[in-house]
Chain A
Amino acid sequence: MSIVFAILFYLATLLFVVGLAHRIRIYIGTPAPLKIPTTPAPISTGGVVLRMTREVVFFESLFKANLWTWGLGWLFHASLALVTLRHLRYFTEPVWGWVAFIQPFGIYAGITMLLGLCGLWGRRLFVERIRYISTPSDHLMLLLLIAIAVSGLLMQFVVHTDVVAVKGFFRGLMHFSVQPLPTDALLLLHLLLVVALLAIFPISKLLHAPGVFFSPTRNQKDDPREKRHISSWAKQMESES
């Protein structure tokens, strides 16, 4: 079982890293031939960094759009970030000070993450127009995340697993030596779902995470009068005429 999961994790990580790198290379390699920032847009690079930070950390545009979606979405993402950071303790030895510090917050973040996800799913099920735009994969994605959160929380609060052994397994993976993994069903389910999440990341709507950084309406400086902005393929037309 340990071998199977070791292979699964290596494969999933490979898919995640290579897939994501491939997508990002496509984004970088595709020119943005016209200046299209949505105004009022920052005029300086510093301003763009600030705008992007507000967007990524606080979901500024979503806040303007809909308070419910913003609240639930932000709750989910912030909680997920905390929970993920908390899991660093399974990969580091000795555990970094700040990772140890956030452990209790990370545990409760598991609960708020679940609340956020359920709220988002509720919107998808009960708000007519959001239901209209939802595809099966939108529902499944939420289900997957909910299942990860629930299985994780159950291990925390109900059926404990041997976390020392779990840590041994992952520390082993990092050094390419397969260590025994506890075999309780809840843990295996939790890990299996995480493997699935990693694997589908680069081929699913989770691409919104890298995508936001490449969105020309958000990452462009508003300076078209001051600087000529011309893409390689547009320059080509120039030399032809």
Chain B
Amino acid sequence: MADVTAPPFRVIPIVPALKPGSMEGKGPYLANEKMQEALGYPGKLVDDWHDKAIAKMGELLGKFRSLQVYMDACVHCGACSDKCHYFIGTQDPKNMPVARQDLMRSVYRRYFTFAGKYFPKLVGARDLTREVLDEWYNYYHQCSECRRCSVFCPYGIDTAEITMAAREILATVGMGQKYSNEIIAKVHKIGNNLGLPEPALRDTLEGLEEDVKDDTGIDVRFPLDVKGAEVLLITPSADFFAEPHIDSLIGYAKVFHASGTSWTLSSMASEGANFGMFIGSYEQLRQVALRIRQAALELGVKRIVVGECGHAWRVAYSFWNTLSGVGSGADETDRFAQMLQKQLDHRYRQPTHICEFTLDLVERNAITLDREANDKHIITFHDSCNVARGSRMGDFAGGQFEIPRNLIKAAAHNFVEMDPNTTRERTYCCGGGGGLLTDDLMDLRVKGALPRMEALKQVVDDEQVNFLALICAICKTQFSKVAPAYGFDRKMVGGIHQLVSNAIRLGDK
């Protein structure tokens, strides 16, 4: 692992000076042959990688309007140039969104445009050489697909779409990333990112039941594979044992218990995360999502609720209906989606975020929260990027901002906001999203967390904040790991349902 250094906080958030080449390198570990082949990619860099990469690029340009338009529309205005947390933290100019896009755009121009074919120098077009390919691998793994740049671009150019395409092209020629591919392979084989098999999962859940019983004296169940349950809960597998994730899982269970909702987890689909998105593969994205449909059909559930996970919620909210029919409004002729949509209860939004689910119960007085239980916490909320910019909750634009905040306020007295330039749709990624939550990228992760850590520092100093509330498993892991590098206690990180868990009144309903 490279040396890890946290950059000093900036006194005023000014645009950093450029440090060209500061993040040059080899990028994260390459996926090994077995892992690549498990996903249907070549094991190692193929001999005809050049032609294959260009062909794949042409295919993706024809399949994704986003990619085609975004390759053409950029005017290099620089609106995005100071918006990326990785640029701010590393000062490497290739981490400016426009420059990151140009790594691919320069190749697009060379092979797919008139100007680039005949006047390459003039428009900054480049041949796809081995150096360029390596550069792609390095810098497209310094993007967390957080889409902050897309908020500010006058044409809505979304670097995430380009990063995804680049990673898909790289994987197609044999350069997959170890961490993401490994996880997808585990999902296909076992059902979750952590490779937790059914007996281990069952064992974990039983242990949790005992812990909660010891703690509260009440039998809160953690059901697995229960046919005919009303709700199927899909949550990131980190919730089953990682800290502080597990406290949120306990929170969900208490909410179901207190409201008398029958629910279940599924051993086949015991994972909310969908790393197919991170590697840009529609096919992987779809395969991972189809498990949910299968589990829902087999268990006969009426509702699907998603736990605290950022990109999982984006995939669930924005893509599940497309990929597997979890939602409403499928055509009569849409056989696969119809099967599931006939079964689901359309009085409820499908899928539902756990925060929507819980806040609705609070508002209907179906559960009671004692806010005093969280009085020792002064809480601030980090909007997770994929929730803030890629998905929604509730029935109104911006519900994904209000609903988690309202739930925190329903569960606790002390809530403060961070700098408005760093929250809601302007939120900064935690620095570990997009398939970068791996130790071989620790230096990047620490540097990428800088803008969020600065905003946090402000409310810690001014408002004595001691709890950073989150609704994303990656954010929880990332902050637990990098916050100490910036002088914070890792224990200040926790989930919203951890607060709900503290406050909820059990037993008397």
Chain A interface residues (CB < 8 Å from chain B):
23, 26-27, 30-36, 38-43, 47, 55, 59, 61-62, 64-66, 69, 73, 123, 127-130, 132-138, 140, 200, 203-205, 207-208, 211-212, 214-218, 222, 224-231, 233-234, 237-238, 241
CB contacts (< 8 Å) of B119 on chain A: these are: 137
Q: Is the CB of B121 within 8 A of A224?
A: no
- Asked whether B96 lies within 8 Å of A133 as measured between CB atoms, the reply is yes
B55 in contact (CB, < 8 A):
no
A66 to B80, CA, bound (A): 9
A241 to B123, CA, bound (A): 44
Which of B63, B74, B351, B425 has the most chain A CB atoms closer than 10 A to its own CB?
B63
Asked whether A62 lies within 8 Å of B77 as measured between CB atoms, the reply is yes
Contact of B121 among A31, A62, A136, A241 (CB under 8 A): A136
Question: Of B124, B150, B350, which is within 8 A of A225 by CB?
Answer: B350
In addition to A38-B150, A216-B65, A228-B334, 7 A-B residue pairs with Cβ atoms within 8 Å of each other are A38-B147, A69-B78, A135-B122, A136-B122, A217-B158, A218-B155, A218-B156
The residue of chain A having its C-beta at the shortest distance from the C-beta of B391 within the complex is A39
Determine the residue in chain B with the shortest Cβ distance to A59: B154
Question: 7 closest Cβ contacts across the A-B interface?
Answer: A211-B73, A65-B152, A135-B124, A65-B79, A217-B156, A218-B156, A227-B329
Q: Is B212 an interface residue (CB 8 A)?
A: no
CA distance A60 to B189 in the complex (A): 46
**Which of the listed residues A35, A123, A132 has the most CB atoms from chain B within 10 Å of its own CB?**
A132
Which of chain A's residues has its CB closest to B152's CB?
Answer: A65
Do residues B18 and A132 form an inter-chain contact, with CB atoms below 8 A? yes
Q: Most chain-B Cβ atoms within 10 A of its Cβ — which of A55, A65, A130?
A: A65
Assess whether A217 is in contact with B66, with CB atoms less than 8 Å apart: yes
The answer, yes or no, to whether B12 is at the interface (CB within 8 Å) is: no
Instruction: Please name all residues of chain B whose beta carbon is closer than 8 Å to the beta carbon of A73 when the two chains form the complex.
Output: 77, 154
CB atoms of A132 and B153 under 8 A apart: no
A216 to B162, CA, bound (A): 13
Tell me if A38 and B81 are in contact (CB < 8 A).
no
Nearest chain A CB to B224 CB, angstrom units: 26
B interface, size bucket: 35 or more
Complex Cα distance, B337 from A241, in Å, reads 13
Q: Answer whether residue B46 sits at the interface, using C-beta atoms and an 8 A cutoff.
A: no
Known: A69-B79, A129-B18, A228-B322. A208 touches B65 (CB 8 A): no
A47 to B72, CA, bound (A): 26
Flag if B113 contacts A39 (CB, 8 Å): no
Partner of A39, one of B64, B286, B400: B400
Q: Are B337 and A228 in contact (CB under 8 A)?
A: yes
Which positions 64-92 of chain B face chain A at CB distance < 8 Å? Answer: 64-66, 68-70, 72-83
A18 and B87 CA atoms in complex are apart in Å by: 40
Can you list 21 A-B pairs with a CB-CB distance of less than 8 A? A30-B62, A32-B65, A33-B322, A38-B425, A39-B390, A39-B392, A59-B154, A65-B80, A69-B79, A129-B15, A132-B99, A133-B98, A135-B124, A137-B122, A137-B124, A138-B76, A140-B122, A215-B69, A217-B156, A228-B322, A238-B336
Which residue of B121, B122, B152 contacts A64 across the interface (Cβ within 8 Å)? B152
A219 to chain B minimum Cβ distance, whole angstroms, is 8
A61 and B147 contact, CB distance less than 8 A:
no
Once the chains bind, are B397 and A26 in contact (CB under 8 Å)? no
Q: B363 an interface residue at 8 Å Cβ cutoff?
A: no
CA distance A225 to B306 in the complex (A): 13
Taken together as a complex, chains A and B put the C-alpha atoms of A35 and B317 apart, in Å, by 10
Q: State whether B425 touches A39 (Cβ < 8 A).
A: yes
Known: A39-B388, A225-B327, A237-B283. A65 touches B73 (CB 8 A): no
Contacting pair B155 A215 (CB below 8 A): yes
Q: Would you call B278 an interface residue if the criterion is a C-beta within 8 Å of the partner chain's C-beta atoms?
A: no
Whether B389 is near chain A, meaning CB under 8 Å from some CB there, is: yes
Chain A hits for B150, CB < 8 A: 38, 217
CB-CB nearest in chain A for B68: A30
Which B residues touch A61, using CB under 8 A?
79, 151-154, 156
- Determine the chain B residues whose CB is within 8 A of the CB of A226 once the complex forms: 327-329
What separation, in Å, do the CA atoms of A127 and B157 have in the docked complex?
22
**Which chain A residue lies CB-closest to B61?**
A30
Q: A61-B153, A230-B322, A238-B336 are in contact. Are A33 and B79 (CB under 8 A)?
A: no
A27, A127, A234: the one contacting B69 at CB < 8 Å is A27
Contact with A along B424-452 (1 / 0, CB 8 A): 01100000000000000000000000000
B29 at the interface (CB under 8 A from A): no
Residue with the highest number of chain A CB atoms closer than 10 Å, among B330, B350, B391: B391
In the bound complex, residues from chain B placing their C-beta under 8 Å from that of A42 are 397
CB neighbours (8 Å) of B282 from chain A are 33-34, 234
Do the beta carbons of A212 and B64 come within 8 Å of each other?
no
- Docked-complex contact B317 and A225, CB < 8 angstroms: yes
Whether the Cβ atoms of B96 and A129 lie closer than 8 Å is yes
Q: Does B140 reach chain A (CB closer than 8 Å)?
A: no
Query: Using Cβ atoms and an 8 Å threshold, which residues of chain B touch A138?
Result: 75-76
Query: What residues of B have a CB within 8 angstroms of the CB of A227 in the complex?
Result: 321, 327-329
Residue from B75, B78, B329 within 8 A of A208 (CB atoms): B75
Q: Which residue from chain A places its CB closest to the CB of B102 in the assembled complex? A: A133
Beta-carbon nearest neighbor of B16 in chain A: A129
B17 within 8 A of A: yes
With A34-B319, A214-B65 as known contacts, state yes or no: A225 contacts B76, CB within 8 Å. Answer: no
Asked if A36 and B115 make an inter-chain contact with CB atoms under 8 angstroms apart, the answer reads no
- Tell me if B325 counts as interface (CB < 8 A to partner A): yes
**Which of B18, B290, B330, B397 is within 8 Å of A222, CB to CB?**
B397
Give bound CA distance, A41 to B124, whole Å.
Answer: 34
Known: A33-B322, A40-B425, A215-B73. A203 touches B115 (CB 8 A): yes
The residue in chain A whose Cβ has the minimal distance to the Cβ of B116 is A203
A64-B152, A215-B155, A225-B351 as given contacts; A203 in contact with B397, CB under 8 Å: no
- Given the complex, which residues of B lie within 8 Å of A33, measured CB to CB? 63-64, 282, 322
